[in-house]
Protein backbone atom coordinates (compact mmCIF):
# COMPACT_ATOMS: atom_id res chain seq x y z
CA UNK A 1 0.00 0.00 0.00
CA UNK A 2 2.79 2.42 1.02
CA UNK A 3 6.32 2.02 -0.28
CA UNK A 4 9.22 4.27 0.68
CA UNK A 5 12.55 3.94 -1.14
CA UNK A 6 15.88 5.60 -0.30
CA UNK A 7 14.17 8.60 1.29
CA UNK A 8 16.55 11.41 2.28
CA UNK A 9 16.14 15.01 3.37
CA UNK A 10 18.59 17.64 4.62
CA UNK A 11 18.25 21.12 6.06
CA UNK A 12 21.42 22.86 4.95
CA UNK A 13 24.29 20.79 6.31
CA UNK A 14 22.04 18.89 8.73
CA UNK A 15 20.89 15.47 7.47
CA UNK A 16 17.43 14.87 8.96
CA UNK A 17 16.61 11.65 7.08
CA UNK A 18 19.13 9.40 5.34
CA UNK A 19 18.35 6.57 2.93
CA UNK A 20 15.20 5.26 4.63
CA UNK A 21 13.37 2.28 3.10
CA UNK A 22 10.20 0.53 4.26
CA UNK A 23 6.88 -0.80 2.99
CA UNK A 24 3.54 -0.95 4.83
CA UNK A 25 0.54 -3.04 3.81
CA UNK A 26 -3.15 -2.21 4.04
CA UNK A 27 -4.66 -2.62 7.48
CA UNK A 28 -1.36 -2.36 9.36
CA UNK A 29 -0.90 -0.10 12.37
CA UNK A 30 2.79 0.76 12.47
CA UNK A 31 4.55 2.69 15.23
CA UNK A 32 7.13 5.27 14.13
CA UNK A 33 9.54 5.75 17.03
CA UNK A 34 12.65 7.74 17.77
CA UNK A 35 14.01 10.42 20.07
CA UNK A 36 13.38 14.08 19.27
CA UNK A 37 15.45 14.92 16.20
CA UNK A 38 15.53 11.33 14.94
CA UNK A 39 13.66 12.26 11.75
CA UNK A 40 10.07 11.21 12.55
CA UNK A 41 8.38 14.53 11.81
CA UNK A 42 10.39 15.05 8.63
CA UNK A 43 9.33 11.63 7.35
CA UNK A 44 5.68 12.28 8.19
CA UNK A 45 5.78 15.62 6.39
CA UNK A 46 7.27 13.95 3.31
CA UNK A 47 4.68 11.16 3.42
CA UNK A 48 1.91 13.77 3.51
CA UNK A 49 3.35 15.66 0.55
CA UNK A 50 3.94 18.76 2.67
CA UNK A 51 7.72 18.44 2.27
CA UNK A 52 9.64 17.24 -0.76
CA UNK A 53 12.48 14.74 -0.28
CA UNK A 54 15.95 15.54 -1.57
CA UNK A 55 16.22 11.97 -2.82
CA UNK A 56 14.09 8.86 -2.94
CA UNK A 57 10.47 8.12 -3.69
CA UNK A 58 7.14 7.61 -1.94
CA UNK A 59 4.39 5.56 -3.57
CA UNK A 60 0.84 5.01 -2.33
CA UNK A 61 -1.04 2.22 -4.08
CA UNK A 62 1.53 2.37 -6.86
CA UNK A 63 1.23 6.13 -7.44
CA UNK A 64 4.28 8.31 -6.85
CA UNK A 65 3.55 11.27 -4.60
CA UNK A 66 5.93 13.42 -6.66
CA UNK A 67 3.60 13.24 -9.67
CA UNK A 68 0.22 12.44 -8.05
CA UNK A 69 0.34 14.55 -4.89
CA UNK A 70 -3.19 15.91 -5.10
CA UNK A 71 -4.72 12.51 -5.75
CA UNK A 72 -2.82 10.93 -2.85
CA UNK A 73 -3.57 13.79 -0.44
CA UNK A 74 -7.29 13.39 -1.06
CA UNK A 75 -6.97 9.83 0.27
CA UNK A 76 -4.70 10.73 3.16
CA UNK A 77 -5.42 11.89 6.71
CA UNK A 78 -2.76 13.69 8.74
CA UNK A 79 -2.80 14.76 12.38
CA UNK A 80 0.37 16.74 13.19
CA UNK A 81 1.44 17.01 16.81
CA UNK A 82 0.42 20.67 16.93
CA UNK A 83 -2.58 20.96 14.61
CA UNK A 84 -2.89 24.45 13.07
CA UNK A 85 -6.49 25.51 13.69
CA UNK A 86 -8.36 28.80 13.62
CA UNK A 87 -9.37 29.39 17.25
CA UNK A 88 -12.17 31.79 16.35
CA UNK A 89 -13.90 29.21 14.12
CA UNK A 90 -16.55 26.88 15.47
CA UNK A 91 -15.91 23.15 15.28
CA UNK A 92 -18.57 22.77 12.58
CA UNK A 93 -17.14 25.59 10.46
CA UNK A 94 -13.61 24.24 10.81
CA UNK A 95 -14.60 20.73 9.70
CA UNK A 96 -16.53 22.19 6.77
CA UNK A 97 -13.45 24.21 5.82
CA UNK A 98 -11.14 21.18 6.17
CA UNK A 99 -13.47 19.08 4.04
CA UNK A 100 -13.48 21.73 1.33
CA UNK A 101 -9.66 21.82 1.33
CA UNK A 102 -9.73 18.06 0.75
CA UNK A 103 -11.94 18.56 -2.30
CA UNK A 104 -15.09 17.12 -0.75
CA UNK A 105 -18.37 18.61 -1.92
CA UNK A 106 -22.13 18.26 -1.81
CA UNK A 107 -23.89 15.42 -0.03
CA UNK A 108 -20.68 13.42 0.21
CA UNK A 109 -18.98 16.23 2.14
CA UNK A 110 -21.90 16.45 4.57
CA UNK A 111 -21.89 12.68 5.05
CA UNK A 112 -18.15 12.63 5.71
CA UNK A 113 -18.38 15.45 8.27
CA UNK A 114 -21.18 13.63 10.06
CA UNK A 115 -19.16 10.40 10.04
CA UNK A 116 -16.09 12.14 11.49
CA UNK A 117 -18.18 13.84 14.18
CA UNK A 118 -19.75 10.55 15.20
CA UNK A 119 -16.45 8.67 15.21
CA UNK A 120 -14.78 11.21 17.49
CA UNK A 121 -17.85 11.98 19.64
CA UNK A 122 -17.66 15.77 19.34
CA UNK A 123 -21.32 16.40 18.49
CA UNK A 124 -21.90 18.41 21.68
CA UNK A 125 -19.16 20.88 20.73
CA UNK A 126 -20.08 21.65 17.12
CA UNK A 127 -21.07 25.26 17.73
CA UNK A 128 -18.33 25.98 20.25
CA UNK A 129 -15.38 28.15 19.15
CA UNK A 130 -12.23 26.02 19.00
CA UNK A 131 -10.51 28.46 21.38
CA UNK A 132 -12.89 27.39 24.17
CA UNK A 133 -12.21 23.66 23.85
CA UNK A 134 -10.11 21.62 26.23
CA UNK A 135 -6.87 20.05 24.98
CA UNK A 136 -8.62 16.71 24.71
CA UNK A 137 -11.47 18.04 22.56
CA UNK A 138 -9.06 19.96 20.34
CA UNK A 139 -7.25 16.67 19.80
CA UNK A 140 -10.51 15.00 18.84
CA UNK A 141 -11.23 17.78 16.36
CA UNK A 142 -7.82 17.15 14.86
CA UNK A 143 -8.55 13.47 14.46
CA UNK A 144 -11.97 14.28 12.97
CA UNK A 145 -10.41 16.42 10.23
CA UNK A 146 -7.91 13.63 9.51
CA UNK A 147 -10.79 11.16 9.02
CA UNK A 148 -12.57 13.25 6.41
CA UNK A 149 -12.81 11.50 3.06
CA UNK A 150 -12.23 8.00 4.53
CA UNK A 151 -8.46 8.11 3.97
CA UNK A 152 -6.59 4.99 2.92
CA UNK A 153 -3.49 6.22 4.75
CA UNK A 154 -3.75 7.87 8.16
CA UNK A 155 -0.72 9.52 9.77
CA UNK A 156 -1.15 10.35 13.46
CA UNK A 157 1.44 12.25 15.47
CA UNK A 158 0.82 11.85 19.23
CA UNK A 159 -2.96 11.23 18.81
CA UNK A 160 -3.63 10.66 22.53
CA UNK A 161 -1.72 13.74 23.69
CA UNK A 162 -3.85 15.57 26.25
CA UNK A 163 -6.54 12.89 26.53
CA UNK A 164 -7.74 11.44 29.81
CA UNK A 165 -7.71 7.64 30.33
CA UNK A 166 -11.29 7.19 29.10
CA UNK A 167 -10.67 9.31 26.01
CA UNK A 168 -7.41 7.43 25.40
CA UNK A 169 -9.26 4.11 25.38
CA UNK A 170 -11.83 5.57 22.97
CA UNK A 171 -9.07 6.86 20.70
CA UNK A 172 -7.35 3.48 20.67
CA UNK A 173 -10.56 1.76 19.66
CA UNK A 174 -11.16 4.38 16.98
CA UNK A 175 -7.70 3.77 15.53
CA UNK A 176 -8.33 0.01 15.51
CA UNK A 177 -11.61 0.56 13.70
CA UNK A 178 -9.93 2.81 11.14
CA UNK A 179 -7.26 0.18 10.49
CA UNK A 180 -9.89 -2.24 9.22
CA UNK A 181 -10.03 -0.18 6.03
CA UNK A 182 -6.88 1.92 6.12
CA UNK A 183 -3.16 1.90 6.87
CA UNK A 184 -2.18 3.76 10.04
CA UNK A 185 1.21 5.24 10.95
CA UNK A 186 1.35 6.19 14.61
CA UNK A 187 4.14 8.35 16.00
CA UNK A 188 4.28 8.64 19.78
CA UNK A 189 6.63 8.81 22.75
CA UNK A 190 4.23 6.70 24.82
CA UNK A 191 5.36 3.09 24.62
CA UNK A 192 2.05 1.87 26.07
CA UNK A 193 0.30 3.25 22.99
CA UNK A 194 2.58 1.28 20.70
CA UNK A 195 2.12 -1.89 22.76
CA UNK A 196 -1.65 -1.45 22.76
CA UNK A 197 -2.11 -0.63 19.08
CA UNK A 198 0.81 -1.61 16.86
CA UNK A 199 1.83 -4.92 15.34
CA UNK A 200 5.07 -3.51 14.01
CA UNK A 201 7.53 -0.71 14.75
CA UNK A 202 9.98 1.42 12.81
CA UNK A 203 12.71 2.89 15.02
CA UNK A 204 14.80 5.81 13.78
CA UNK A 205 18.12 7.02 15.10
CA UNK A 206 19.97 9.97 13.67
CA UNK A 207 17.74 10.03 10.57
CA UNK A 208 18.34 6.37 9.76
CA UNK A 209 15.97 3.44 10.08
CA UNK A 210 17.69 1.04 12.47
CA UNK A 211 14.84 -1.34 13.31
CA UNK A 212 11.89 -2.51 11.22
CA UNK A 213 10.26 -5.47 12.91
CA UNK A 214 7.09 -6.94 14.29
CA UNK A 215 6.59 -6.41 18.02
CA UNK A 216 6.26 -10.14 18.55
CA UNK A 217 9.72 -10.65 17.08
CA UNK A 218 11.26 -7.82 19.08
CA UNK A 219 9.94 -9.12 22.37
CA UNK A 220 11.60 -12.47 21.87
CA UNK A 221 15.16 -12.97 23.03
CA UNK A 222 17.66 -15.81 22.97
CA UNK A 223 17.61 -16.09 26.76
CA UNK A 224 15.82 -18.35 29.24
CA UNK A 225 15.27 -17.69 32.95
CA UNK A 226 15.61 -20.68 35.24
CA UNK A 227 14.53 -20.74 38.90
CA UNK A 228 15.85 -23.83 40.67
CA UNK A 229 17.30 -25.21 43.91
CA UNK A 230 20.35 -26.41 41.94
CA UNK A 231 23.65 -24.91 43.12
CA UNK A 232 25.45 -22.51 40.77
CA UNK A 233 28.30 -24.91 40.01
CA UNK A 234 25.82 -27.65 39.13
CA UNK A 235 23.83 -25.36 36.84
CA UNK A 236 27.02 -24.37 35.07
CA UNK A 237 28.01 -28.01 34.60
CA UNK A 238 24.66 -29.68 33.84
CA UNK A 239 23.00 -26.88 31.88
CA UNK A 240 26.01 -25.06 30.48
CA UNK A 241 27.27 -28.23 28.81
CA UNK A 242 24.10 -28.75 26.76
CA UNK A 243 24.43 -28.30 23.01
CA UNK A 244 22.84 -24.97 22.08
CA UNK A 245 23.61 -23.27 25.41
CA UNK A 246 26.37 -20.68 25.10
CA UNK A 247 26.29 -19.15 28.56
CA UNK A 248 24.87 -19.31 32.09
CA UNK A 249 24.92 -16.49 34.65
CA UNK A 250 23.25 -15.63 37.93
CA UNK A 251 20.24 -13.33 37.57
CA UNK A 252 18.80 -10.98 40.14
CA UNK A 253 15.26 -11.17 41.46
CA UNK A 254 12.95 -8.29 40.67
CA UNK A 255 12.48 -5.70 43.45
CA UNK A 256 10.26 -7.19 46.15
CA UNK A 257 10.36 -10.68 44.61
CA UNK A 258 11.33 -13.63 46.80
CA UNK A 259 12.92 -16.61 45.10
CA UNK A 260 12.70 -20.10 46.63
CA UNK A 261 16.08 -20.93 45.05
CA UNK A 262 18.48 -19.29 42.64
CA UNK A 263 17.69 -17.60 39.31
CA UNK A 264 19.91 -18.14 36.28
CA UNK A 265 19.93 -16.46 32.88
CA UNK A 266 20.73 -18.93 30.14
CA UNK A 267 21.93 -17.67 26.76
CA UNK A 268 21.05 -19.80 23.73
CA UNK A 269 22.74 -19.96 20.36
CA UNK A 270 20.88 -17.95 17.71
CA UNK A 271 19.89 -21.02 15.67
CA UNK A 272 18.98 -23.24 18.64
CA UNK A 273 15.63 -24.94 19.24
CA UNK A 274 14.37 -23.18 22.37
CA UNK A 275 11.58 -25.69 23.02
CA UNK A 276 13.92 -28.67 22.83
CA UNK A 277 16.43 -26.92 25.09
CA UNK A 278 13.73 -26.15 27.65
CA UNK A 279 12.92 -29.87 27.79
CA UNK A 280 16.61 -30.77 28.12
CA UNK A 281 17.21 -28.19 30.87
CA UNK A 282 14.16 -29.35 32.82
CA UNK A 283 15.33 -32.96 32.55
CA UNK A 284 18.84 -32.02 33.73
CA UNK A 285 17.44 -30.30 36.82
CA UNK A 286 14.89 -32.96 37.76
CA UNK A 287 17.13 -35.95 37.00
CA UNK A 288 19.78 -34.40 39.21
CA UNK A 289 17.35 -34.51 42.12
CA UNK A 290 16.81 -30.74 42.26
CA UNK A 291 13.66 -28.62 42.33
CA UNK A 292 12.53 -26.83 39.18
CA UNK A 293 10.50 -23.80 40.21
CA UNK A 294 10.23 -21.99 36.90
CA UNK A 295 11.67 -22.09 33.37
CA UNK A 296 10.58 -19.48 30.85
CA UNK A 297 11.72 -17.39 27.94
CA UNK A 298 12.97 -13.91 28.72
CA UNK A 299 10.88 -11.29 26.94
CA UNK A 300 12.17 -7.81 26.23
CA UNK A 301 9.83 -4.89 26.79
CA UNK A 302 9.56 -2.27 24.07
CA UNK A 303 10.74 0.58 26.28
CA UNK A 304 14.01 -1.22 27.09
CA UNK A 305 14.58 -2.10 23.46
CA UNK A 306 13.87 1.47 22.36
CA UNK A 307 16.32 2.82 24.91
CA UNK A 308 18.95 0.28 23.85
CA UNK A 309 18.60 1.09 20.14
CA UNK A 310 18.24 4.85 20.52
CA UNK A 311 21.23 5.22 22.82
CA UNK A 312 23.57 2.95 20.87
CA UNK A 313 26.78 4.66 19.74
CA UNK A 314 27.03 2.62 16.57
CA UNK A 315 24.46 1.39 14.09
CA UNK A 316 23.26 -2.22 14.50
CA UNK A 317 24.95 -4.88 12.42
CA UNK A 318 22.88 -6.18 9.51
CA UNK A 319 21.74 -9.27 11.38
CA UNK A 320 20.50 -7.10 14.24
CA UNK A 321 18.28 -4.96 12.06
CA UNK A 322 15.03 -6.86 11.61
CA UNK A 323 13.42 -6.13 8.27
CA UNK A 324 9.80 -6.80 7.45
CA UNK A 325 8.44 -6.64 3.93
CA UNK A 326 4.77 -5.80 3.88
- Confidence label for 321 from pLDDT (cuts 50, 70 and 90): very low
Is 197 contained in some domain? yes
Q: Choose between 110 and 26: higher pLDDT.
A: 110
CATH number, domain of 15, equals 3.40.50.300
How many CB atoms lie under 10 A from the CB of residue 153?
22
Residues ≥6 apart with Cβ < 8 Å to 227: 259, 260, 261, 262, 263, 264, 292, 293, 294, 295
One domain for residues 189 and 252:
no
Is 84 contained in some domain? no
Of the listed ranges 24-38, 147-161, 310-324, the one predicted with least confidence: 310-324
Is 68 contained in some domain? yes
One domain for residues 63 and 158:
yes
Q: Choose between 136 and 20: higher pLDDT.
A: 20
One domain for residues 24 and 63:
yes
Is 173 contained in some domain? yes
Q: Choose between 83 and 213: higher pLDDT.
A: 213
Q: Which of 168, 189, 218 is the last residue of a domain?
A: 218
Q: What is the mean pLDDT of residues 46-65?
A: 93
Q: What's residue 77's pLDDT?
A: 92
Q: What's residue 284's pLDDT?
A: 94
Is 284 contained in some domain? yes
pLDDT at residue 6 greater than cutoff 60? yes
Rg (CA), the chain: 25
CA distance 237 to 242: 9
Q: Which of 218, 238, 254 is the last residue of a domain?
A: 218
One domain for residues 54 and 179:
yes
CA 65 to chain centre: 23
Q: What is the mean pLDDT of residues 249-266?
A: 88
One domain for residues 269 and 165:
no
Q: What is the mean pLDDT of residues 146-157?
A: 92
**Residue 202 is part of which domain span?**
2-75+151-218
pLDDT at residue 315 greater than cutoff 50? no
Burial 7-42 (b: 16+ CB within 10 A, else e): bbbeeeeebbbbebebbbeeebbbbbbbbeebbbbb
One domain for residues 286 and 228:
yes
One domain for residues 199 and 252:
no
One domain for residues 293 and 179:
no
One domain for residues 169 and 288:
no
Total number of domains in the chain: 2
Strands 223-228 and 292-297: antiparallel
CATH number, domain of 271, equals 3.30.70.260
Is 259 contained in some domain? yes
One domain for residues 162 and 279:
no
- Confidence label for 312 from pLDDT (cuts 50, 70 and 90): low
Is 96 contained in some domain? no
Q: What is the mean pLDDT of residues 176-197?
A: 89
pLDDT at residue 169 greater than cutoff 50? yes
133: left (phi > 0), else alpha (psi -120 to 50), else beta?
Answer: beta
One domain for residues 292 and 274:
yes
Q: What is the mean pLDDT of residues 33-51?
A: 92
Q: What is the mean pLDDT of residues 247-269?
A: 89
One domain for residues 155 and 291:
no
245-250, strands of its sheet edge to edge? 245-250, 262-268, 223-228, 292-297
- In the chain, the percentage of residues whose pLDDT exceeds 70 is 95
Q: Using alpha carbons only, what angle is made at residue 54 by residues 53 and 58, rounded to the nearest 5 degrees?
A: 35
- Confidence label for 319 from pLDDT (cuts 50, 70 and 90): very low
Is 303 contained in some domain? no
Q: Using alpha carbons only, what angle is made at residue 90 by residues 85 and 93, rounded to the nearest 5 degrees?
A: 85
Q: Which of 218, 245, 268 is the last residue of a domain?
A: 218
CA distance 114 to 84: 21
Instruction: Outline where 78-190 has alpha helix (H).
Output: 91-101, 106-120, 135-147, 165-178
Amino acid sequence: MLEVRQLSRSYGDFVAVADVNFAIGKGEIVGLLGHNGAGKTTIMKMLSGYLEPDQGSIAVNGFEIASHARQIQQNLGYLPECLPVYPEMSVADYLDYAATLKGLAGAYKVAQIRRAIGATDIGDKLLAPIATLSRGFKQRVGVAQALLGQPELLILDEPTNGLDPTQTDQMRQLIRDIAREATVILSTHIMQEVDALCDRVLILRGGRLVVDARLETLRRSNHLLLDTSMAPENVTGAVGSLAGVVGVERAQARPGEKLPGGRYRITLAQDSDASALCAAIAAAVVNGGHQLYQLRGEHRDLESLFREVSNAHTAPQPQETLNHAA
